[in-house]
Amino acid sequence: MSNRISIIYDRVRWEEKELFSAFEAKNIPFGKYDAKSLVLRSDDSDESIHSSFGSTLLQRCISHYRGMLIAHYLESKNCLVVNSSNTSRICGNKFLSTLQFEESDIKTPLTLFSFSDKSAEDSVEELGYPSVLKPIVGSWGRGVVKLNDKDSAKALIEMRYNDDGLFSKIFYIQQHINRPPRDIRTVVVGDEVVGAEYRYSSNDDWRTNFSLGAKVEECPITKDLEEIVLKASKSVGGGILGVDLMESDDGFLVHEINNNVEFKGVSKFTKENIAYKIVDYINNISKR
């Protein structure tokens, strides 16, 4: 009998190893596929795809477009993919996720969208200094810069505008929030916030990404925090997500949502195994 569940990935990180081990520990048969080795046929039948991959897929690709398009393909063959291609599309693009937060009445930093170097400079002048310039697609804090003054803003915007990247002429410029030197990473599995951590910026970097050496500490999951995190998760379709927030004078602000959440740091502060939670969630929905 073919596996009912499979994992598709493009790099085996700590999290994927934990998920593989969790499936094995729970004696749940599963398949695992490196997306880089896949060849998908447009004319494959639903039955053929289900026979190969199963009917439920956990999509764990680091590459945004690789994972999203594979999810689109599998959904076209009537597979259930977590997270869905639409959730991937929204979470993987800060432009779209910010619009979704606004539409769902979720507090988020004021953001201006510009489409030329001149309008980007005007946006920074409107927001004031410092402001934050982010790429609309990307993770781990790469390409995120603080614009401290007019000269540095002009130079960084010009550098971005003259780049040949796909989104280099789309400027996502965000209000700099007066916050403690930390943000909050939460992990959501279905309808449950399974863990939370404070991420403190290192001494030589204002960004709070774990990949950049941020120090982490346990963050209590209060009722207010849980409410806004689940609301943010629901706004993008739900599933297995990382919701990042900042503390401000106006309460919690959601500033990013991660479709392919890394949970190694948060796992230090949880009593229950997050990988087990994910596997139980996938196993349960695969039976529906």
For 250-283, the DSSP string reads: TEEEEEEEESS---HHHHTT-SS-HHHHHHHHHH
pLDDT bucket at 1, cuts 50 / 70 / 90: very low
Number of residues that make up the chain: 288
Cα–Cα distances (Å) from 29 to 4, 97, 130, 239, 280, in that order, read 7, 34, 52, 21, 13
Look up the CATH number of domain 5-90: 3.40.50.20
pLDDT at 52 over 80: yes
Superfamily (CATH) of domain 111-175 = ATP-grasp fold, A domain (3.30.1490.20)
Evaluate whether 72 touches 88 at the Cβ level (below 8 Å). Answer: no
Residues of the chain with CATH 3.30.1490.20: 111-175
In the chain, CATH 3.40.50.20 sits at 5-90
Q: Write down the pLDDT at residue 203.
A: 63
Do 269 and 197 form a contact (C-beta atoms < 8 A)? yes
Q: pLDDT digit string (tens) for 83-125?
A: 999 999 999 999 999 999 999 999 999 999 999 999 999 999 9
Q: What is the pTM of this model?
A: 0.90
- Residue 41 burial (CB count, 10 A): 9
Q: Where in the chain is the domain with CATH 3.30.470.20?
A: 178-278
CATH, range 178-278: 3.30.470.20
